[in-house]
Amino acid sequence: MGVKDLIIIVALMAASAYAIVPACADLPSEMALSWVQKGDDLIQQERYNESLDCYENAIGYDPYHAQTWNKLGLARMAISDYDGAVRAFNRSISLDLLYSAAWNNRGDAYFSMGEYEAAIESYDGALAINSNDLYALVHKGINLQHSGKSARAMAVYEEVIQIAEREARKRPNDANFDPSLWTDKGDALFQLGRYDEAQESYEIALGINPKFQGAVEGMQRIGEIETEMNSTTPGENNGVLPAEKEPTPTTAPLTGACGFLAVGIAAALIFFARWRDGGPPPR
């Protein structure tokens, strides 16, 4: 074998090695993506415990992917492991401070734990990224209500409605394909007790996406309210007042001078009756 042939062989080996090394370097991220996709499929099937293993395997291959940590947090919430969910969301936020979904999801986890002030802080984190985040605003209002700050909550709901209506006017084409906008508006209207308007918003959202979870749940709440209103007994809380009953006559007790007069009349009648019958007068 000549020197020229040897040089050609070495060059080919070097080129092959150069092509193989990047592929090997990408292998962990590709494995992580494969596990994430499998976890997503299991979530769709509501096999949450199995999805946890998939997301944790993905993190084992790529521990620096904020979205994977967020998915792990959501899976933990699905099995009511709210402490674990908060830890996962914290990790997601630490990897990407501008990842608003993780801020909102952490707020939801804190709400489920009854830690309303911590939830409000999380929603404020999302609002610091986007002040028009309607989901964060609605759920901040709900937590304000649970914290006993109803006036502030009502103001937040009104703000949600104003923003949603402004966005629908400014971006009508986008609004026609955004079920979350109409769902968030419906949630705000529902919290304000404006159920008919809330139902209209939920119906628009479902017209865009019939399976949009927030709107489906909103319509279920509307149905529960209607059932509760229709289940009242006739004449009770249905706008029809019950017929008035005739008052039962009562005899007032005799007191004072009237009492003495009545006693005197009774004694006189007894005396007269005995005198008429020839009996002795009463003593």
Q: Are residues 145 and 193 in the same domain?
A: yes
Tokens, residue 211: 């399976």
Higher pLDDT, 106 or 254: 106
Residue 33 predicted with pLDDT over 60: yes
**275 lies in some domain:** no
Where does a domain end: 194, 226, 258? 226
The pLDDT assigned to 139 comes to 98
Question: Residue 151 carries which side chain, given as an amino acid letter?
Answer: A
Q: How far apart are the first and last CA of the chain?
A: 161
**Judging by beta carbons within 10 Å of its beta carbon (0-12, 13-18, 19+), is residue 192 exposed, middle or buried?**
middle
Tell me the torsion sign for CA atoms 23, 28, 29, 31. Answer: positive
Q: Are residues 110 and 147 in the same domain?
A: no
The pLDDT assigned to 228 comes to 87
Number of domains in the chain: 2
The pLDDT assigned to 71 comes to 98
| Local confidence band at 137 (pLDDT 50, 70, 90 cut-offs) | very high
Q: Are residues 154 and 111 in the same domain?
A: no
**Is the Cβ–Cβ distance between 86 and 104 less than 8 Å?**
no
The torsion angle over the Cα atoms of residues 251, 253, 259 and 265, rounded to 10 degrees, is 30
Q: Are residues 219 and 135 in the same domain?
A: yes
Q: At what angle do helices 134-146 and 116-129 cross, to 10 degrees?
A: 160
**82 lies in some domain:** yes
| 167-225 residue pLDDT tens | 999 999 999 999 999 999 999 999 999 999 999 999 999 999 999 999 999 999 999 99
CATH number of the domain that residue 61 is part of:
1.25.40.10
Where does a domain end: 115, 148, 183? 115
SS3 for 12? helix
Task: Write the DSSP symbol of residue 98.
Answer: T
**9 lies in some domain:** no
What's the domain range around 102? 22-115
